[in-house]
Structure 1
Amino acid sequence: MAGACLLVFLAPCAAADAATFAEPPRVEIAGDWVVRVLPGTFDVAGNKVAVVNAVELRVEPAVLVRVRDEKHDSLPLFNQAAAPWAMGVKLRSLATTETTAADMLVPESLALKSGPGDAPRYTAGKDYAFEPRWATAGRLPEGIPEGAPVWIDYDCGWGRLDAIVVARDGAVTLRQGTPHNATPLPPAAAPDRERTLARVWVPGRTARLTPENLYPIVEERYTEPPRDGLPPASKLLPKTWAKLHSGEPLHVLAWGDSVTAGGEASDVAHRYQNRFAALLGECFPKAKIRLTTAGWGGRNTDSFLAEPPGAEFNFDRAVIEPRPDLIVMEFVNDAWMTPPVVEEKYSYLLRRFHAIGAEWLILTPHFVRPDWMGAPSARVEADPRPYVEGLRKFAAAHHVALADAALRWGHLLKEGIPYTTLLSNSINHPDDRGHELFAQALIAIFR
């Protein structure tokens, strides 16, 4: 149900203005599966296009994936004490890089069978148990025999990120994205003749659209706040700054948790620290950078400090004894800390780093599942975690370099991107795009 739109082409405008909408797009819900684009004027490939009349666009409901006869050679015992995504076997259409996609299974559709097709069904609660939110299933001790193959039927939803696009010729259309269980990609616009005005986020089991599903684009990319003088690294990381310019060897140590260990970058080159090192090399052609990593999945700074001498991840062995020139630190697993705790614990780290002459560059963490960071929904711009507040206060008070990646994650809302679509495991591990946000936050300290 697309309405007509009248367009007026005005004088070309400067390309530099294209990153920000002078007049943010206005989009509203017009029905269960209908969105309405309200009149406005937008820059499209250097021309101002005025949409005079409102345009209504039909959005297709969420994709329902019907899986039949998914064979598993055997089932583990259902483990009620495990994390919900690890209580049993993962349903494959909902398995992410490490976990499962929550709230996408249609629980009443689940059927475990002794064979394909119309084979006899097992009984939930007697033969097997399952976790309905996280789509895992396991056998019960007196139920499905150990080692017995099982065939599983189920329905589940996959999310989709659609785009509302205005073309240079005046057409306003809705372009469907490609469904995925964790990281759906939005469809691209042709920059020489189109512009994306907004995106419509359709999670896997959406019953109808609400304003929560609408992501109008206010700014197409993050812009560093204006600053005076040389880049922050020149004052906060003077020894690193000097070595980058002189060509003296520079040892950079990335210290962190599972994200620093690589999760869930597609390869080593796309890990944030490797991208950062590559960007440093581009900015400082004389630089001789050696990058090492001390990343320990599922752990935090206390974990390193608690390890016994000689252990692989003992703090002294992993961080101090290599005597790096620059320590880049990322610990989303420290996000339990309040500002006073940050002050206490990180002051100790700072003293240890000063003792070996190392400089310190702290990353604020990426966004994780909304319920894990105290956010009411995925539509969050300002990071609500006290830990992030504590990092900013600590860095300012102690003149420690801070790469504020959390600002870039919050800015995704203005870019029309639900940040949760950058989480490869649907919980807390960023994909390549998320790692790139870290890398850009780090290199901004040097530019």
Structure 2
Amino acid sequence: MADFLLARLVTGNSKTYEDHGPINVVICGDSVSHGAVNGFFDYHTLYHNRLRLMINKKYHFLPVNMINTAFCGTRANYADEHFERDVAAHNPDLVIVCFGLNDVNVTLEEYLTPLCSIFDKCLAHSFDCIFMTPNMLNTYVADETAEELKGYAKATASYQVEGGRMDTYMAAAIEAAKERGIPVCDCYTKWKAMAAEGVDTTALLANHINHPTQEMHKLFADSLYETIFGQAYDGEPTACHENTMYQGK
């Protein structure tokens, strides 16, 4: 299991805060991480907000700040180009990177080059980093798909089903992360497992193309928690023995 600074910090006390300061987690991603659902945005059920609430309930003395730099319609190159402004400026204790849903539209090299650059920049700055693989794309064009998006839905379904393009991109990205010692939170494989068991994963996409339903964000949050802390979330808060009253400082 990776030794994440975040996991050590949230179990700390007053001295931890005095020595370290605020705990910051930066999110780099596309529309899913941005909060897009199906024609609207939901920042409450979003996976990293769920993760924040889980951590704050379990280890409730030191708050965790989730800094969302994800932006809809972007690829890894956007986050790479804005790394100093959007990531490094916050001196994060953890960077969560999730790209691939839009990057599958370009060449594998155009996906991997900026993605690896993000990984390398995190390492150069000594920022802990997790690469989280995204959900599957749609496997067919659903009747409920917006009419103006059915052409794109046909393309994404082909990426997912015909020739295994999405599988290839995810495998290459995972390998690139592992080569650098970047821990992988592999949610894509969990979606693939559901599909193999007969689950209609397209029905789990709010826009029937690439945005998971609000409920499915729980899978990402649970998976990230397990990656960070090495165990499943049990929902039981830890005891707090800190004096929260003014002490004359």
Task: Tell me whether the two structures share a fold, i.e. TM-score over 0.5.
Answer: yes
1:261 paired to 2:34: yes
The SS at the match of 2:28 is strand
* Paired residues, number: 202
The SS at the match of 1:245 is coil
Is the contact made by 2:26 and 2:67 (CA closer than 8 Å) also made in structure 1? yes
Question: Residues 304 and 254 from structure 1, CA distance in 2 versus in 1: closer, same or farther, beyond 3 angstroms?
Answer: closer
What residue identity is the alignment partner of 2:11? H
Shift of 1:251: 0.4
Question: Residues 383 and 408 from structure 1, CA distance in 2 versus in 1: closer, same or farther, beyond 3 angstroms?
Answer: farther
Is the contact made by 1:260 and 1:295 (CA closer than 8 Å) also made in structure 2? yes
Q: In the alignment, which of 357, 360, 382 is matched to residue 126 of structure 2?
A: 357
Q: Which digits, 9 at most, give the CA deviation of each residue in 1:407-430, with x for residues without a partner?
A: 221122355430001111121111
What residue identity is the alignment partner of 1:319? V
Question: Residues 338 and 240 from structure 1, CA distance in 2 versus in 1: closer, same or farther, beyond 3 angstroms?
Answer: farther
Is the contact made by 1:365 and 1:405 (CA closer than 8 Å) also made in structure 2? yes
Is the contact made by 2:187 and 2:223 (CA closer than 8 Å) also made in structure 1? yes
Q: In the alignment, which of 302, 315, 320 is matched to residue 88 of structure 2?
A: 320
Identity value in percent: 23
Question: Residues 416 and 283 from structure 1, CA distance in 2 versus in 1: closer, same or farther, beyond 3 angstroms?
Answer: farther
The residue that corresponds to 1:372 in the other structure is: 156
Q: Which has the larger radius of gyration?
A: 1
Structure number with higher helix proportion: 2
Cα distance between partner residues in 1 of 2:166 and 2:76: 21
Q: In the alignment, which of 246, 255, 268 is matched to residue 12 of structure 2?
A: 246
1:347 paired to 2:116: yes
Is the contact made by 1:337 and 1:386 (CA closer than 8 Å) also made in structure 2? no
Q: In the alignment, which of 386, 389, 413 is matched to residue 168 of structure 2?
A: 386
Q: In the alignment, which of 48, 52, 58 is matched to residue 277 of structure 1?
A: 52
Q: In the alignment, which of 170, 177, 181 is matched to residue 399 of structure 1?
A: 181
Is the contact made by 1:300 and 1:333 (CA closer than 8 Å) also made in structure 2? yes
Shift of 1:333: 2.1
Question: Residues 233 and 283 from structure 1, CA distance in 2 versus in 1: closer, same or farther, beyond 3 angstroms?
Answer: farther
Shift of 1:281: 2.5
The residue that corresponds to 2:204 in the other structure is: 422
Shift of 1:277: 1.3
Question: Residues 345 and 267 from structure 1, CA distance in 2 versus in 1: closer, same or farther, beyond 3 angstroms?
Answer: closer
Shift of 1:328: 0.9
Shift of 1:364: 0.5
Shift of 1:284: 3.0
TM-score (norm 2): 0.71
TM-align CA RMSD: 2.7
Is the contact made by 2:98 and 2:132 (CA closer than 8 Å) also made in structure 1? yes
Alignment of 1:168-207 (within 5 A): none
Is the contact made by 2:95 and 2:127 (CA closer than 8 Å) also made in structure 1? yes
Shift of 1:275: 0.7
Is the contact made by 2:74 and 2:102 (CA closer than 8 Å) also made in structure 1? yes
What residue identity is the alignment partner of 1:257? D
Give the gaps of 5 or more residues in structure 2: 140-154, 232-249
The SS at the match of 2:69 is strand
What residue identity is the alignment partner of 1:328? I
Q: Which digits, 9 at most, give the CA deviation of each residue in 1:244-273, with x for residues without a partner?
A: 222543101111111111011873220011
1:297 paired to 2:65: no
Shift of 1:391: 2.2
What residue identity is the alignment partner of 1:318? D
What residue identity is the alignment partner of 2:102? N
Is the contact made by 2:45 and 2:217 (CA closer than 8 Å) also made in structure 1? yes
Cα distance between partner residues in 1 of 2:195 and 2:35: 25
What residue identity is the alignment partner of 1:303? Y
Is the contact made by 2:133 and 2:170 (CA closer than 8 Å) also made in structure 1? yes
Is the contact made by 1:250 and 1:288 (CA closer than 8 Å) also made in structure 2? yes
The residue that corresponds to 1:431 in the other structure is: 213
Q: Which digits, 9 at most, give the CA deviation of each residue in 1:352-391, with x for residues without a partner?
A: 22333311111101111235263438xxxx9952221012
Alignment of 1:41-60 (within 5 A): none
Is the contact made by 1:342 and 1:394 (CA closer than 8 Å) also made in structure 2? no
Shift of 1:404: 0.5
Q: Which digits, 9 at most, give the CA deviation of each residue in 1:217-262, with x for residues without a partner?
A: xxxxxxxxxxxxxxx242xx2x222212225431011111111110
